[in-house]
Amino acid sequence: MRPEILFPLFAPVTSIRGVGARLAKPLERLAGPRVRDVLFLAPTALVKRRATTVREAHPGEVATLTLTIDHHQRPRRFGQPWRIRASDRSGGVNLIWFKGYGPHLETSNPPGSVRIVSGKIEPDAYGGGLQIIHPDYFLPPERAAEVRELEPVYPLTEGLTFRVLQRLVREALTRAPDLSEWIDPAFIAAQNWPTWKSSVEKLHAPTGEADIAPHAPHRRRLAFDELLAHQLALGGRKRRRRSEGGAAIGPSAVAERVRAALPFSLTGDQTRALAEVRADLGEGARMTRLLQGDVGSGKTVVAMLAMADVAAAGRQSALMAPTEILARQHFDTLAPPLRQAGVETVLLTGRDKGAGRRKKLELLSSGAAAVAVGTHALFQDEVAFANLALTVIDEQHRFGVNERARLQAKGEAAHFLAMSATPIPRTLELTLYGDLDVSRIRQKPPGRTPVDTRAAPMTRLGQVVERLRQAIDAGAQAYWICPLIEGSEDSDLAAAEARAAALKQTLGAERVGLIHGRLPAAEKDQAMADFAEGRTAVLVATTVVEVGMDVPAASIMVIEQAERFGLAQLHQLRGRVGRGAAASSCVLLYDHPLSDIASRRLDILRRTQDGFVIAEKDLELRGGGDPLGLRQSGFPDYRLADPIAHGDLVRAAADHARLILSRFPGLQGEGAAPARVLTGLFDWRPEGGEAG
Ligand code: ADP
Ligand code: MG
């Protein structure tokens, strides 16, 4: 329930004086439907209005002049503007109004009257003089104080002028209540931040460039508020989930047998991640954990051992992968060691039909099979589990919230383990996954040789293809990544289809496969399978190549127009090779000349193979905006916080939220009243956004 003190802020924008149906539309489009949304519309720049004289004013600047009206020049023909000639002692200027201004302009501003005029100075279209088109201010001298020397500039939308918006913001500000402080007194004192109300006021009344910058104290405070509200929502969700309780499952002899049967021993990071998962499982609280690690870092093995524990406890697990081929690969990895330890495992995908499918469904509903691996097929209505206690989701960002929820719903308060191969920087991890516990696997299993990474200009394409031919003659397999399919004529992006055709000519048609996003699923799977099973030597692909796809024999990765990819994306693409024992290589083809940033990016990639280091550097280089293209993947849409510029505040907000939630579980009680106001203010929906 929203605290009462916030009611005025959550009234519709039409409650702002001066906002009728006509203004409400553009205002809602720009800011949002409520008064609060108008308050949180942050100015993006400042205009300086220089008070000056006609002679001293230069074209391009925004100037405030004190002028006497000389005469009016009415439009002679339809479509001509209304012009006023006005002057001060130093010279004259034309004031121009297009349509909608009639004779009232003349009656209310007769020749001889003095007016304060402020607007952008432009050279007169007819040479020589100066003009102002649609002055921002055109006022009698007694209202001169309305023209402020510095004014905030807001993003605008059609139907709203900046003066109208400024007026509405000022109106909205009168609704801002004094709110009790939710930030820890010692912390806010150390930061020297203003109160919430003065911060919002200051947001809309900048007095210099420094006030517009993200590090301005009031801006940092508001950013912190938003981050804190979000962390409180995420943390609250996490606590609620845990309090639901889950089956208590201990480490098992079965898992030990599975582990002993593996031809390798776990890396330190795998052991630690497994211990964290086991601590969750053993606690009787419900696990919601994210296992993060590069492709090939061995996440699946960790999941498998947890599944073995679950099986030993007489319960079931399900592992869901985004594609048929990934599900199949997981099954091939998991089934033999699990079966050897007596754990029956079934694979369920869209391909299962008729009697075969019925048999598998029976194994799951009776509980005879303790582990299910599959695709979306796993959460169809006919699929029932006897006692599902753990769901594992691979490449979790590839599934929608509902899909995850539907699998979760197959079990009662089932433990949840997500796996992701997209390394993201810490600060972003907190904002994206603040409601999950995160285990990271950084170490690669031993014996992996680093991928020899080189950059080469497109002009060396011929040599690259020739070396590729030699390599595949010797039995190697290669991915060839193109940025776009069907490049249009005016696009310089290489088209995957054209590339595939060209490579078929040089390398032999039967040795080259093609996969792209517009292929039907069955054909995609077929192209993947042909490559995975060695029937094709080169797989030309758009970036759809499955992130988790494991073709250990593939040892060469060629990426065309590498400068167009994000660093993290390049790293993930490269991660598809270097998985077998053979020495691997990655060729980054680029169009000459390379920009400075692009060459630094390629350089970072050459120097390190650690996905987390790369993610941090990528963030640094990009500096802002939508790093890593995360906005599509559920990245929160902050209004006042910028997780990059305010990166240091993310962690502080998370710590703060933890503290508040531990003192006031569920934000209950009088002491948590300010925090409740804060979460109400930002309105992060406490539920939704994440499965389980
Ligand atoms: P991920 O799911 O993180 O992409 P996988 O769990 O599929 O990685 O592991 C990738 C490959 O590495 C698999 O073939 C797996 O058998 C192997 N592997 C996993 N852990 C180890 C280890 N500790 N030592 C050697 N090989 C390992
Ligand atoms: Mg994987």
176-203 pLDDT, tens per residue? Answer: 999 999 999 999 999 999 999 999 999 9
Helix, strand, or coil (residue 84)? strand
Q: What's the pLDDT at 265?
A: 94
**Ligand positioned closest to the Cα atom of 271:** 1
Which ligand 1 atom is at minimum distance from the Cα of 552?
14
- The answer, yes or no, to whether any atom of ligand 1 lies below 6 A from the CB of 270, is yes
How large is the average pLDDT for residues 589-612? 86
Asked if 586 and 574 touch (Cβ cutoff 8 Å), the reply is yes
List strands edge to edge, sheet with 538-541: 452-457, 585-590, 554-559, 477-481, 538-541, 512-515
Position of tokens 């280089």?
621
100-127 residue pLDDT tens: 667 888 899 999 999 999 999 999 877 6
Distance 257 CA to ligand 1 centre (A): 18
Helix, strand, or coil (residue 259)? helix
Which ligand 1 atom is at minimum distance from the Cα of 330?
7
**Ligand positioned closest to the Cα atom of 304:** 1
Measured over the CA atoms of residue 588, residue 592, residue 593 and residue 595, the dihedral's sign is negative
Q: Where are the alpha helices (DSSP H) in 492-566?
A: 496-507, 521-532
**Ligand positioned closest to the Cα atom of 302:** 1
Mutate to test the pocket of ligand 1, among 290, 297, 301, 442 (most ligand atoms within 8 A of CB): 301
Asked if 434 and 359 touch (Cβ cutoff 8 Å), the reply is no
Residue 353 has pLDDT above 80, yes or no: yes
Give percent of the chain with pLDDT exceeding 90. Answer: 55
Taking the C-alpha atoms of residue 469 and residue 460, their distance in angstroms, rounded to an integer, is 14
* Residue 487: both structure tokens together: 């490049």
Beta-carbon neighbour count of residue 150 at 10 Å? 14
Residue type, 302: V
Which ligand 1 atom is at minimum distance from the Cα of 267?
23
- The answer, yes or no, to whether any atom of ligand 1 lies below 6 A from the CB of 373, is no
Range of lowest pLDDT (121-130, 546-555, 682-691): 682-691
Distance 298 CA to ligand 1 centre (A): 4
Residue 491 has pLDDT above 50, yes or no: no
Q: Whose CA is nearest to atom 19 of ligand 1?
A: 298
What DSSP state is assigned to residue 584?
Answer: -
- The answer, yes or no, to whether any atom of ligand 1 lies below 6 A from the CB of 264, is yes
